Structure 1
Amino acid sequence: MNATTPELRTERLHFLPYRPEHEDVFVGLLRDAEVCRWMGQDLVPEPQVRELFRAILTDVYPQRRFDVWGLWLDGTYVGHAEIKPTGNVDGHELVAALLPAHWGRGLGGEAVRGLLRHAADDLGLTEAYGMVGAENTASLALSRRLGFRHVKDVVGDDGSVTRMLVISTGAGEPGADGPPAGAVRAADPV
């Protein structure tokens, strides 16, 4: 990324770069077993999550490695979002995770639309990837409705299957009104 992570806004969400005082809400999100399940990651000990948060502040932001935000709705923390280089293909991955209390309200799709707009308008990306667990049927359905296409299945060492999806951001396309909506690795099973 060639600039510091900007604040973004959608109709209801405020994408705010993390600040030191956000550590406890970030830890709460990534220590939620349901969130971890749908994100396809293990529930890790709290000290490791705190270390990850501090790395965002001391490494990711200062080194401009990628964009990462806390998601806020009317001043309440509701989740997390990122646009980062993906290790699976040459490209960038969108990540969105919501606290379970905020699932089923359309916030996951709204978050991804905001990420796609930033990817196209500010980063110049023409496409973006998402990784959704094969068992996360609600997020897969939302992804299809919003225009993501299946690229391939990625099988983990434990036999778990994650669907790699791709979507055009609309950047650089003649007559494009902006990016289509989409959904990605979302701990938001709608």
Structure 2
Amino acid sequence: MTDVVDGDYMPVLRGERLLLEAYRPEDEEEFVALFQNPLVSRWISDGTDTEENDRALFGRIFSKVYAERLFDVWAVRREAGGPLIGHAEIKRTDQVAGYELVYALAPECWGSGLGTELAEMILTHGFGTLGLPEVYATVAAPNEGSLVLLDRLGFTWVRDIEEEDGSTTRVLVLPRCAPEPSPKRRRRSVS
């Protein structure tokens, strides 16, 4: 279950093992280290960018995204004040003509179920708080770990995008679930 609490810039999401909260200026070094890690960045956009560009990206989170309240972007931690272990967003993009789930976790967190918990937290926020009818994900075709995770969550393939560099990006979607039907009357059992 995810609790939503008002934050200074945006909601704070609390899961069973994760906390999603607004970035703080002192997170810059850990943010840059996460995005400079080639195991993480190989699945993000065009791969590892320059340290200077990652620092500029971090600055834009404050000067643009938070200042103009453009979309929700979080630092991912295990506890308040703890080290940064990931990054998460949910934002409207023209590439999918809808809202896209974006997340990255440090490699030491892979295979522990934290990716599933993180994605579920963002989806709960998207469907519940934001009232979205569906959420998209774009994933590099070779990123089997994310594709398996999203498949387990119910995402389905929409189309492939052939990128300029010859790589393929998969576009997936998860529609908001229909309300559960009201329970039928239970039959009495004879014992």
TM tier, shorter chain? Answer: 0.7 to 0.9
> Unaligned regions of 5+ residues in structure 1, if any?
177-190
For the aligned residues, what is the CA RMSD?
Answer: 1.5
Amino acid at match of 1:110: E
Does 2:16 align with 1:11? Answer: yes
Question: What is the CA–CA distance in structure 2 between the aligned matches of 1:143 and 1:174, rounded to whole Å?
Answer: 21
Find the partner of 1:20 among 1, 22, 25: 25
Find the partner of 1:107 among 108, 114, 137: 114
Find the partner of 1:34 among 33, 36, 39: 39
Matched-pair contact (CA < 8 Å) for 1:132–1:164: yes
- Report deviation, 1:40: 4.2
Percent identity for Structure 1 against Structure 2: 45
Q: Trace 1:41-190 onto structure 2 (pairs within 5 A).
A: 41-74=46-79, 75-170=82-177, 173-175=178-180
Question: What is the CA–CA distance in structure 1 between the aligned matches of 2:50 and 2:140, rounded to whole Å?
Answer: 22
Question: What is the CA–CA distance in structure 2 between the aligned matches of 1:151 and 1:51, rounded to whole Å?
Answer: 33
Identify the residue that residue 3 of structure 2 maps to in structure 1: none
Matched-pair contact (CA < 8 Å) for 1:30–1:49: yes
TM-score by length of 1: 0.86
Question: What is the CA–CA distance in structure 2 between the aligned matches of 1:66 and 1:155, rounded to whole Å?
Answer: 27
- Report deviation, 1:41: 2.5
Matched-pair contact (CA < 8 Å) for 1:18–1:70: yes
Matched-pair contact (CA < 8 Å) for 1:16–1:70: yes
Query: Between Structure 1 and Structure 2, whose CA radius of gyration is higher?
Result: 2
Matched-pair contact (CA < 8 Å) for 2:156–2:172: yes
Dislocated runs of 4+, deviation >2 Å: 38-42, 173-176
SS at match of 1:7: strand
Amino acid at match of 2:48: L
> Unaligned regions of 5+ residues in structure 2, if any?
1-6, 182-191
Question: What is the CA–CA distance in structure 2 between the aligned matches of 1:25 and 1:115, rounded to whole Å?
Answer: 21
How many equivalent residue pairs? Answer: 172
**Which protein, 1 or 2, shows the higher relative CO under an 8 Å CA cutoff with sep ≥ 6?**
1
TM-score by length of 2: 0.86
Question: What is the CA–CA distance in structure 1 between the aligned matches of 2:54 and 2:43, rounded to whole Å?
Answer: 17
Question: What is the CA–CA distance in structure 2 between the aligned matches of 1:48 and 1:40, rounded to whole Å?
Answer: 13
